[in-house]
Structure 1
Amino acid sequence: MSTTARADLAPLTSMRGIAALVVVIYHFSGGFLPNLDLAATTGLVSKGYLWVDFFFVLSGFILSHAYADRFSDTVTWASFRAFIDARFARIYPLHFLILMGFLLLELTKLALIHLDWGQRVDRPFGDSTDAYGFVLNALLLQTSGLQSYNTWNGPAWSIGAEFGAYLLFPLLTILVVRHGGSLRLALAGAALAGLWVISAEGTDLDRTADFGLLRCAFEFTLGILTYRAFLRLPRHLLSGSDPLMLLGAGILLAMHFEWPDVLIPPAYALLILFLAANQGLPARLLSRAPLVRLGVISYSIYMSHYLVLSVIQVMARALTGAGVGRNLDAGLSVLVLGLVTLVVVLGSNWLYEAVEEPARARVKGWLARIG
């Protein structure tokens, strides 16, 4: 693959971090801070779940950037096993650690109730934290349709969906690389049609435990196709900043005015395509070290933020009998939102250094030894 094709994708890393922060704000406003109902003001918050779709499209693009050469001609068991081992080592250790954190939180609820300190704490090991859901999450089957709602670490539904897409990646790569434009167009059309079907005719893509695996697979396919376009299209058609800025503004407007959800994933694909090739001001701004670092730790941000929220709520209910945001006005809610988000970012930076990266190396080594 050419040097040009192996472009610096730091801006995409930064965008992943920004998307993770938007998901945090989406989960932290509203129910957690009921007097900061940003969703009533703008669809930029109420449609925050759509930034998970950005992750899915971007994942297909980035994995193609990193692995497409290995599967462009054929798939051997050795190459497939090495790919899956690497992806499992990437996502599973932190996923399992946070899952165990939620288990510890449920045990803490039991202890609080036993000590008569937590009579208003939510019932431990309820419908969203039962043993069956724990097993499904541990086995990455939380989007398999075996349970109709999210359990334990709610945002982790997407990790099960991503792993399913990883299993399809070599086959999809062969289809995209070895066949002509007609098949690629057919794959793109099938992916968009599939999104239309599972999203109530394009209106609601917030499908998780039920159709989350399909949602991810369709958008993952769009990401693979987008990378193929990135390799084939002339750079001068993609590197300008004006189309990129218009796309970004269009996506934000579509979310703000709550246009049909199905418009967003293909718009993300175009945004990624233009941003990957951009050499102008947007790329330079998104290549700043703090933003790139935010993208580097984005997986830890995404996986840990719901546990932080849950711990704060349990503590608040045990101490005051109510959720943390009940008695906060809008101004104080904004302050709490900022402080808790900062805690998540700083904690995620520690998680990345102390857990995510060391565990990835250890799990890869362990899988290599047993392989």
Structure 2
Amino acid sequence: MKGWQNLAMPQPPAQDTIRDDHITATSKEEIGALTGIRGVAAVLVVIYHIYPFTDFPWGLRQIVARGYLSVDVFFVLSGFVMALNYGALFKTGFSSATFGTFMLRRLARLYPLYIVFLLLRIGYSLLAYGSLHVKNYWFAVDLSHPAASLFANMAMIQSWGIATAITNPTWSISVEWGAYFLFPFIIAAILYSRAWQAGLATGIGAGLVILVTWLTLHDGQGHNGPLDAYDGRTLVPMIRCLGGFTLGLATYRLYRWAPARRWAGSWLGWLVCLYLLAGILLHWGDLALYAAFPLLILSLACNQGRLGRLFAWGPIFQAGVLSYAIYVIHNPWIGLFYWARHTLPNYMPHWLAETLIATGLAVSILGAAIILHHFVEVPGRRLVRRLTIARTKTRTIEA
């Protein structure tokens, strides 16, 4: 119990940062496994969205069918990383200046690629069809209420119970953007409070996740599982995000406790991976699988052994670096996939067509992600950060 009490006022590393999508705990220590798990989760989401899970053999079929839970891994990981990088900003309490700096940094991370890809789809719809209400045409948008939908999507608030996301996967970006507004208050309850208060806040986070599984039974929407909540016209996706985000913050508090790091850095990671694999193959419920996600993040953050090196391995790590771009842009490839499946088998053997389609999807999505990451995402992030620095200097001079 003494160890928990020592967590009331954790001392984050002085140079916690995310540098060009590389998650680091200090200037010398890079948590490559956390970058890697982000890449694995992004790839699973892409496969889940594009390929019918029935296409895969036993084992892979069950993994792909639960691909929607990869988004929950993102939410837990995001809470952990936000605490790792920005928790110290609010150690002494809330201030509007600090909060503004935090939100601008997060805007720099999310918005450049998000808005460029959104504008590409809107521009294509207007140039090709002269309308924003275009049904069943590749890359075009279909907005029943264009003005309201455009405003909500451009402001990244569409999935706050307002509208559907124009680019479907960005519903999760919208709700995470909403979670950032609550970050200073949640982190005060999790990191800078007594152990019982942190425990209560953690329980509320877990309760929100459980609540989602009840709400999906009564919202009249189609779901592939109890936690498969994504329709931004309701508040259920926001609740889903806040639950995972809070549990990620709580995981960081545990990470700050030295005995927990020693315990998690040894055998725990392998045990968690085996638990998840067994749960997926044996069709355990979503909540049973979800319970392992905070432990997975904790173990990967602490593990310097083979498991950590596996998730930090070059291709997996690079997928993590590109994960945001891969996630944002992959949705239009669904239409291309079904077109190719309908067309190519007419001209070649089925096995060759499937091989070409899978290869083409992987190469084209990865190529587009690399281009947009290097020429949109990173430059845009630097531009917004320069504006942030200029804003800070101006405020300092005025003061």
TM-score, scaled relative to structure 2 = 0.79
Q: Is the 8 A contact 2:42 2:323 kept in 1?
A: yes
**Cα offset for 1:109?**
4.7
Question: Sequence identity of aligned pairs in percent?
Answer: 28
Match of 2:340 in 1: 324
- Backbone CA RMSD of aligned residues: 3.0
Q: Is the 8 A contact 2:205 2:247 kept in 1?
A: yes
Paired with 2:248 and 2:136, the residues of 1 have a C-alpha distance of 45
Q: Is the 8 A contact 1:39 1:45 kept in 2?
A: no
Match of 1:26 in 2: 48
Q: Deviations over 1:271-296 (max 9, x none)?
A: 01111111211112222333222211
Structure 1 residue corresponding to 2:198, chosen from 165, 181, 184: 184
Matched AA of 2:255: F
- Shift in alpha-carbon separation, 1:330–1:133, aligned structure 2, 3 A: farther
Match of 1:67 in 2: 86
Q: Deviations over 1:139-192 (max 9, x none)?
A: 111211123xx3320000011111111111111111112212212221222112
Match of 1:53 in 2: 72
Tell me if 1:224 matches 2:249: yes
Of structures 1 and 2, the one scoring higher in RCO (CA 8 A, sep 6+) is 1
Paired with 1:360 and 1:366, the residues of 2 have a C-alpha distance of 10
**Cα offset for 1:367?**
4.5
Tell me if 1:106 matches 2:120: no
Match of 1:17 in 2: 39
Match of 1:132 in 2: 148
Q: Is the 8 A contact 2:121 2:141 kept in 1?
A: no
Structure 1 residue corresponding to 2:214, chosen from 200, 221, 233: 200
Match of 2:61 in 1: 42
- Shift in alpha-carbon separation, 1:260–1:349, aligned structure 2, 3 A: same
Number of residue equivalences: 351
Structure 1 residue corresponding to 2:171, chosen from 142, 152, 157: 157
**Cα offset for 1:40?**
11
Q: Is the 8 A contact 1:29 1:38 kept in 2?
A: no
Q: Which runs of 5+ in 2 are unaligned?
A: 1-10, 15-24, 217-224, 393-399
**Cα offset for 1:125?**
4.8
TM-score, scaled relative to structure 1 = 0.85
Match of 1:304 in 2: 329
Name which of structure 1's ranges 184-193 and 127-136 shifts more when overlaid on structure 2: 127-136
- Shift in alpha-carbon separation, 1:119–1:324, aligned structure 2, 3 A: farther
Give the SS at the match of 1:326: helix
- Shift in alpha-carbon separation, 1:230–1:337, aligned structure 2, 3 A: same
Q: Deviations over 1:323-366 (max 9, x none)?
A: 33225446633541232122111221121111101001112223
Matched AA of 1:249: L
Give the SS at the match of 1:323: helix
Q: Is the 8 A contact 2:34 2:297 kept in 1?
A: yes
Q: Is the 8 A contact 1:129 1:151 kept in 2?
A: no
Paired with 2:241 and 2:12, the residues of 1 have a C-alpha distance of 29
**Cα offset for 1:110?**
1.6
**Cα offset for 1:300?**
0.6
Q: Is the 8 A contact 2:79 2:248 kept in 1?
A: yes
Q: Deviations over 1:256-282 (max 9, x none)?
A: 443221233331100011111112111
Structure 2 residue corresponding to 1:285, chosen from 281, 292, 310: 310
Give the SS at the match of 2:160: coil
Q: Is the 8 A contact 1:35 1:333 kept in 2?
A: no
- Shift in alpha-carbon separation, 1:285–1:120, aligned structure 2, 3 A: closer
Q: Which runs of 5+ in 1 are unaligned?
A: 113-117, 314-321
Paired with 2:65 and 2:355, the residues of 1 have a C-alpha distance of 17
Paired with 1:199 and 1:73, the residues of 2 have a C-alpha distance of 36
Name which of structure 1's ranges 340-349 and 212-221 shifts more when overlaid on structure 2: 340-349
Q: Is the 8 A contact 2:139 2:332 kept in 1?
A: no
Match of 1:239 in 2: 265
Tell me if 1:250 matches 2:275: yes
Match of 1:345 in 2: 366
- Shift in alpha-carbon separation, 1:217–1:35, aligned structure 2, 3 A: closer
Paired with 1:344 and 1:123, the residues of 2 have a C-alpha distance of 14
Q: Is the 8 A contact 2:179 2:242 kept in 1?
A: yes
